[in-house]
Chain A
Amino acid sequence: MNDRTSPALSAVDRPNSYIGRSVPRPNARRLVQGRGQYTDDIAAPARTLYAAFLRSPYAHAQITRIDVAAAKSAAGVALVVTGAELATVCEPWVGVLTHFKGLRSATQYALAVDRVVWQGEPIVGVVAESRALAEDALALIEIDYAELPAVTDPDAALLPDTPVIHAELGSNLAFALNLESGDAEAAFRDAHAVVSGDFRFGRHAPVTLESRSILADFDPSTRRLTVHQSTQTPYQMQDIFARHLRLPQADVRVVAQDVGGSFGMKLHVYGDEMATAAMSVMLGRPVKFVADRLEAFQSDIHARDHRVRARMAVAADGEITGMIVDDITGVGAFSAYPRTSAVEGNQAIRLMGGPYKLRNYQGRLRVVFQNKGLMSQYRAVGHPIACGVTEALVDQAAAAVGLDPLEIRRRNLLTDDVYPYTSPTGYIFERLSHHQCLEKLERLMDYAGLRANQAEARQRGVMRGIGFAAFIEITNPGPAFYGVGGAHITAQDGCVLTLEPSGNLRCAVSVTEQGQGTEAIMAQIAASAVGVPIEHVRVITGDTEATPYGGATWASRGAGIGGETVLITGKALRANLLRLAGVMLQAPAEALDIKDGLIVDAATGQERLSLPELARIAYYRPDTLPQGVQAELSAAHNHVPRGQPFAFTNGIQASHVEVDVETGFVRLLNHWVVEDCGRIINPLLVDEQVRGGVVQGIGAALFEECLYSEQGQLLNGTLADYLVPMAGDMPDIHVEHVSTPTLHSELGAKGAGEAGAAGAAAAVLNAINDALQPLGARLLQIPATPERILRALGKLDAPGRPTSGEE
């Protein structure tokens, strides 16, 4: 690749010279040349062995016999381990946290012991000279099962005659929560109209293109464990490996180099990965495990799986006066560890009605166990559920009182003068910009023109629809998220910034990169804070040995928390360097400045000393400095948000679709997003975060669903059977911004990773229903497959393929 020329550094916009600019990502150049180092690409250490796992073919069964004798003596096999044996090396876990009062789960072993509770649960691990030999040995293992009845449907999970998956818990209820604010019953009594729906949100799979991968290398001579892992959060995993394998935390190093997609999926603890690390400890040799695509479908956490009964009360003028919501969500056989599977449902019922002035609210949540793989945090945790239910009901309410869908939103969205505002469910909104976003969207999409187009198309029998979704997004989580519940998941991030002898900066930071552009953003901030060209900053992430301990990248926290950390660190280093330059130049530090990598006279901008020269003197000729002067060439800082438990962003999306009412197929014509993530550090990266999120939301809206038989068998565990959005199906996505920086940080960034995914599905479903409205049809289930659309139109009677619930 050619050398990139850096955007010129302007003295006018310093210290924010790179902030707000579309700086390309430095690490992209490696990736486009195929030089990424994903975990499976890392050159395996000598004597590396390969793991494979025998997984349960049953969703629920007692294991009555395991015979591994033949596998143990198979060619190339180094180790065969059952669940009970592995448990002697690897402590089991329970996915609960104390701040989710009443949350329960059962003890989960890395490899199943005595009983299997989902199809695909790992039972036996085999380690051999190659993956192929390990798989050959798996075929020699004999296991007898006594099949038990499987619990699959979330509604049925709590019925009295349904079997209880974990007998010690007494029921299949993992967590329940009731919220009440205002007087919802009265609101419904007095309502001009009441609208309601029975919504279903399919269970979908993350489908990161790089599957979960781990290379664990335990050195028995030093008793140190080095783990290369495709994870978002090496620090959390360092703690987990240490505690569960009974090693000192200091003796565990976790490295996450390039990560091929994560979206929240690579935050959780997986039995096969824990077993791989444990087997490395048992053998004292490196062991690698890379999940194949089927294993990914069967064992990655899934997302959503909600059934929501909801009602909305509306006054004659369109004011939304009340909302009552009952959400039941199936989380699979266990609550996931260590973040729990209560967060999705908790956020879903707390975010209901979030963008609106609604005061009277009742929310009920039940989180239930099923004999399916685990469901847990995935991009925009709970948001698409809250947004989908709320926005569909808002459209119904508009129809009930004869208002335009955009107009009813205009009348009900929180106005810009109410902040700070506490929502009925206890969320605190610092400053949101719903109305600015709505107005911008209306212009951007040419709403009036689209409505005219819609009317004209209907004349020709072409059914087009327009759907809106206003949303809020939770970002920048503080310790209220996990730490207060007892999890060893830090909400702070750390940065160490050093002026190296070359005069360049080395920025070691605890936020991690999975393609969002974390490293580019941190370089922008560090360069701006110190005053150097961005090419002079090298950012180091993803290695517990090389970076400070921190929260890493999830919940849209990278820019907001990690970025603020780097900004404060950069300012501290800048002060150090100016102080040192002052000594060297015999000038007061306040009279000096750093611009474009040079120490300059603050008043005139005249160059006094280059940073490489300052570094040379500081590192190699400190003898030339006055007695007693120590050159402080590094700065370190740890930062955690203290102003509020977490931040909120907001925005609104619109979708334009065409529904073929003969085939049920939906064609996406256009999609628009206007969002407010506070200070935008890099517009190029933010826009692509939004677009990527939108397409994941469209996947949930139209295509993606894990289908299960009544016996709990996953029926579409391949990419030929499980549909994800393809380029040809997707529209261009128009993204605009309103910027309302948070005042709780100097940087003002709120986070942008999940906004697209939060509202896209709701906008698409509303657009479909808008298209179907003249035909009297309505669909309240996603994915909105052609079959379901035809059924909603009354054009299909026979049941189709089995799904997670009954049709």
Chain B
Amino acid sequence: MELQGQHVIPLPRPQVWAALNDADVLRACIPGCQALTKTAEDRFTATVASKIGPVSAVFTGEVQLLDIVPGLSYTISGSGKGGVAGFAKGRSQVVLADGPEGTVLSYTATAEIGGKLASVGSRLLQGVARRTADDFFTALVNQLAPAPQAVPSAAQPAPEPGASRPAEPAAAPAAYHPAPSAPAPARSSALPWILAAAGWLIAAFLAGHLTR
């Protein structure tokens, strides 16, 4: 599966770069992330749990950063094992650039899933990866720029900082995007960071449908 996308983060580039290298921020933003540990300057280990319906599944894996140009770009490569559910592998190139409304993050990514995941989930992969990525992205924006300072309307309760999944994703990003239509960017797609993790999440999602 191949994904590509672009997203505007209404913050300066160095701040975005730092966040994308901050295990704490990532742990808070990856839906279902139980552990994310930086094991070296360019390596993380991750454990992502998901509970869907009556089933829990845990996915573990390693993420490595390659071709790092600090503050500008890197390639991320990760793989995760989902036990009986199978495995997920992902690789993505990420580039940050300055734009009029903040930092423009562009990525291209490939992801591969295997085992039970592939056999029952290939049809669903694209959609699930996209949705999972949207959740991550929304959470990341909330992490970096907490909503209260930006939400003009007092009617919307601010999301909890650090919440892995904001109750109402539409509220927070709206303030940062002058675009008239969508509160969340319409083309906001998967963030490469989580492509590897997305695989594990997909695995968890599917496991919920598979096991009884």
Chain A interface residues (CB < 8 Å from chain B): 54-58, 119-120, 132, 135, 138-142, 294, 297-298, 709, 711, 713-718, 720-721
Contacts and interface: CB of A to CB of B under 8 A. Distances in A.
Contact of A119 (B114, B120, B210, B211): B114
Given A119-B114, A711-B112, A721-B123, 13 more contacts: A55-B116, A57-B115, A139-B83, A139-B84, A140-B83, A141-B84, A294-B120, A709-B112, A711-B114, A713-B119, A714-B118, A716-B123, A718-B119
A714 B119 contact: yes
A119 B123 CA distance: 18
A57 B122 contact: no
Among B113, B120, B212, find the residue whose CB has the most chain A CB atoms closer than 10 A: B120
Given A141-B83, A716-B122, A57 B112 contact: no
B85 to A, nearest CB: 8
B185 to A, nearest CB: 26
Contacts of B115: 55-58, 119, 713
Nearest to A54: B84
B87 interface: yes
Contacts of B116: 55, 57, 294, 717
Nearest to A707: B122
20 contacts: A54-B84, A57-B87, A57-B117, A58-B87, A58-B114, A119-B118, A135-B84, A141-B83, A142-B83, A294-B116, A294-B119, A298-B119, A709-B118, A713-B113, A713-B114, A713-B115, A713-B118, A713-B119, A713-B122, A716-B119
Contacts of B117: 57
B192 interface: no
B61 interface: no
Contacts of B57: 139
Interface residues of B, number: 19
Contacts of A718: 119-120
Given A57-B87, A139-B57, A297 B119 contact: yes
Given A139-B83, A294-B210, A717 B114 contact: no
Contacts of B83: 138-142
Given A119-B119, A138-B83, A718-B119, A57 B210 contact: no
Interface in B61-93: 83-84, 86-87
Among B112, B114, B116, B211, find the residue whose CB has the most chain A CB atoms closer than 10 A: B114
Q: Which A-B residue pairs are the 3 nearest by beta carbons?
A: A57-B115, A717-B119, A713-B118
A717 B120 contact: yes
A54 B212 CA distance: 16
B200 to A, nearest CB: 13
Among B118, B123, B212, find the residue whose CB has the most chain A CB atoms closer than 10 A: B118
A57 B114 contact: yes
A115 to B, nearest CB: 16
A622 B112 CA distance: 79
B15 to A, nearest CB: 38
A715 B112 contact: no
Interface of A is mostly: loop
A139 B212 CA distance: 13
A138 B57 CA distance: 12
Contacts of B120: 294, 717-718, 721
Nearest to A718: B120
Interface string B98-134: 0000000000000011111111101100000000000
A54 B82 CA distance: 12
A90 to B, nearest CB: 23
Nearest to A292: B210
B125 to A, nearest CB: 10
Interface string B169-212: 00000000000000000000000000000000000000000111
A716 B119 CA distance: 5
B211 A135 contact: yes
Contacts of A142: 83
Contacts of B87: 57-58
Contacts of A139: 57, 83-84
Among A138, A140, A709, find the residue whose CB has the most chain B CB atoms closer than 10 A: A709
A56 B119 CA distance: 12
A718 B118 CA distance: 11
A141 B58 CA distance: 12
A721 B123 CA distance: 8
Nearest to B112: A711
Nearest to A56: B115
B119 A715 contact: yes
Contacts of A55: 84, 115-116
Contacts of A57: 86-87, 114-118
Contacts of B112: 709, 711
A60 to B, nearest CB: 11
A50 to B, nearest CB: 14
Contacts of B84: 54-55, 135, 138-139, 141
Contacts of A721: 120, 122-123
Contacts of A120: 119
Contacts of B113: 713
Nearest to B117: A57
A51 to B, nearest CB: 14
B203 to A, nearest CB: 10
A371 to B, nearest CB: 12
A294 B119 CA distance: 8
A615 B186 CA distance: 86
Contacts of B212: 132
B205 to A, nearest CB: 15
B114 A715 contact: no
A297 B115 CA distance: 12
A107 to B, nearest CB: 24
Contacts of A297: 119
Contacts of A717: 116, 119-120
Interface string B143-183: 00000000000000000000000000000000000000000
Contacts of B210: 294
A58 B82 CA distance: 13
A120 B212 CA distance: 19
Among B86, B119, B123, find the residue whose CB has the most chain A CB atoms closer than 10 A: B119
Contacts of A294: 116, 119-120, 210
A623 to B, nearest CB: 65
A772 B61 CA distance: 51
Contacts of A135: 84, 211
Contacts of A716: 119, 122-123
B159 to A, nearest CB: 33
Among A55, A139, A720, find the residue whose CB has the most chain B CB atoms closer than 10 A: A139
Contacts of B119: 119-120, 294, 297-298, 713-718
Nearest to B60: A142
B196 to A, nearest CB: 16
Contacts of A298: 119
Contact of B118 (A54, A141, A715): A715
Contacts of A720: 123
A713 B57 CA distance: 21
B61 to A, nearest CB: 12
Nearest to B56: A139
A461 to B, nearest CB: 34
A132 B55 CA distance: 11
B126 to A, nearest CB: 11
